[in-house]
């Protein structure tokens, strides 16, 4: 079954690239958001299976979005992405309850499927 994804990232080029590559791999991109608040709204509204969440968002960071969604329950599978190194975030990824982290440059359908499986 194609999984639904909402992409939350403030860089339009990345959103475009990510859509292209994931759609090519069979994922369905149901929504995009360019900041935290709209991301939360989209996640609640569209109830995707996967939330591709950029850590560096203009209004709040990805972890805050994660926490917000946690409170609501029924969270999608959250996968953090960033152009920064995973080491920059230390243990925060694990603590957030997300499924994992993929560096942006290595985003592919396969790597995503591996994490949410």
Partner 1 sequence: MSGRALVLGAAVGLALAAGATLLVLTSSHEDNKAATLALPAGLSFVASGLVAMWRRPQNRTGLLLAGVGYLWFLSALAESDDDWIFTVGIAVNSVVFGAFVHLLLAFPWGRLPGRRDVWLVVSSYALVLSGSLALLLVDESPDSGCATCRSTIAVGVDDTARTIVRGVVTVLALAFLITILVVVARRFLRSTGALRRALGPVLGSGILVMLVLALQVVVETFSEEAARPFGYVFLVAFALVPLTFLAGVLRSRLARAGSSDLLLELARGTPLRDALARVLRDPSLELAYWLPDADGYVTADGKPLPEETAGRHMTLVEHAGRPTAALLHDPMLSEERELVDALAAASGLWLDNERLQAKLRAQFEFLETTVNTAPSLLISLAPDGRIAHLNAASERASGYDDPEEIRGQYLWDVFISPEERARVEEAFRSRLAHAPGTYENTFVNRRGEELVIAWSTAPLRDQAGNVRYVICGGLDVTERKQRELELARERDFLRKVADTTPSLLVVVNDEAIVVGNSVNKGFAQTIGWSEQEMLGRSLLDLFRPADTYFARLGIASAFNGVEPAERVSHWRTRDGQERAIAWMATPIVDVTGAELVLVCGVDVTERERREADLRSSEERLRAAIQASPVAIVEYALDDRITRWNPAAEQIFGWSAEEVVGGFGKHQPPGRASELRELFRRVRAGEVYMGIESKRIRKDGATIDVEISAAPIRGAGGEVLSHMALFADITERKRQEDEVRASRARIVQAGDDARRRLERNLHDGAQQRLVALSLSLRLAQSKVVSDPEAAEQVLEAARDELAAALDELRELARGIHPAVLTDRGLAAAVEALTLRSPVPSTRGRQNVNVRVSRENGSALVQVADDGVGGADAAQGSGLRGLADRVESLAGTLAVESPAGGGTRVSAEIPLHDPPPA
**Would you tell me which residues interact with partner 1 (CB under 8 A)?**
11, 13-14, 16-18, 20-21, 24-25, 56, 83-84, 104-108
What is the DSSP code string of 58-83?
SSS-HHHHHHHHHHHSSPPEEEEEES
Instruction: Return the half-sphere exposure (C-beta side, CA atoms, 13 A cut-off) of residue 57.
Output: 25
Residue 13's DSSP bridge partners are none
Which residue, chain included where needed, has tokens 């909402």? 6
Smaller CB separation from partner 1, 19 or 47: 19
Minimum Å gap between C-beta 72 and partner 1 is 30
Smaller CB separation from partner 1, 14 or 92: 14
Minimum Å gap between C-beta 86 and partner 1 is 14
């Amino acid at each position: 079954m194609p999984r639904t994804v909402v992409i939350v990232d403030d860089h339009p080029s990345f959103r475009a690239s990510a859509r292209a590559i994931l759609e090519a791999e069979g994922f369905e991109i149901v929504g995009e958001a360019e900041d935290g608040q709209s991301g939360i709204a989209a996640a609640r509204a569209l109830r995707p299976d996967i939330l591709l969440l950029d850590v560096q968002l203009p209004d709040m960071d990805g972890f805050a979005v994660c926490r917000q969604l946690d409170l609501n329950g029924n969270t999608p599978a959250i996968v953090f992405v960033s152009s920064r190194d995973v080491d920059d975030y230390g243990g925060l990824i694990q603590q957030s309850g997300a499924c994992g982290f993929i560096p942006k440059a290595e985003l592919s359908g396969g790597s995503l499927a591996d994490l949410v499986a």
